[in-house]
A and B are shown apart, each in its own frame.
Chain A
């Protein structure tokens, strides 16, 4: 079992839809949770990060962490064609080195 599981998609939605992207993880030591957006042939771009459980909102994006279920989510409201990209979840444990463990990424396609 991989430490971080993420459905690769693709996930296709119409413009304006609410998008839900999810990751599950097995290592209970993960404490810091990030979401990155990666456009084709580009480096990942940090969207949001949260510490421990709870919600965090930034514009159209909301990140949720449920540590009891080892489940994190990213919601995108009023999705736009420019949101079409691969979304990667990443995590850092509570101790040791600050290295990111990534999921495989979910490809999102928002059609006009």
Chain B
């Protein structure tokens, strides 16, 4: 079984630039969620993708956007980077969106994250 992978591992960008982060979901998983984790904080939900459609969004501005591809891999794009965007960006995959008949769909497995530094 292949776990969740993310690239790149680290990234340094300048304020105002754009960045694209990538995630490959765990084998057999079709749902990808993105989270932002600032230093010393718990992860904050950005958005979720299921079958290439956005399936929920947290309290993040529109300059945070995403894509999911037919192979269920995903991208997170951030435009007009701000200093406060510096954080660990985590991708999590699961076997589907909410399904009370299948409690396993609630299990989200995280990748190692991409550490973004904005200067």
Contact = CB atoms under 8 A, between A and B. Distances in A.
Given A97-B97, A99-B58, A92 B106 contact: yes
A60 interface: no
A6 B42 CA distance: 10
Contacts, number: 71
Interface of A: 4, 6, 8, 32, 34, 36, 41-46, 49, 51, 88, 90, 92, 96-105
Contacts of A41: 88, 115
Interface of B: 4, 6, 33, 35, 40-45, 48, 55-56, 58, 88, 90, 92, 94, 97-98, 103, 105-113, 115
6 contacts: A44-B43, A44-B90, A92-B98, A97-B98, A99-B45, A99-B58
A100 B45 contact: yes
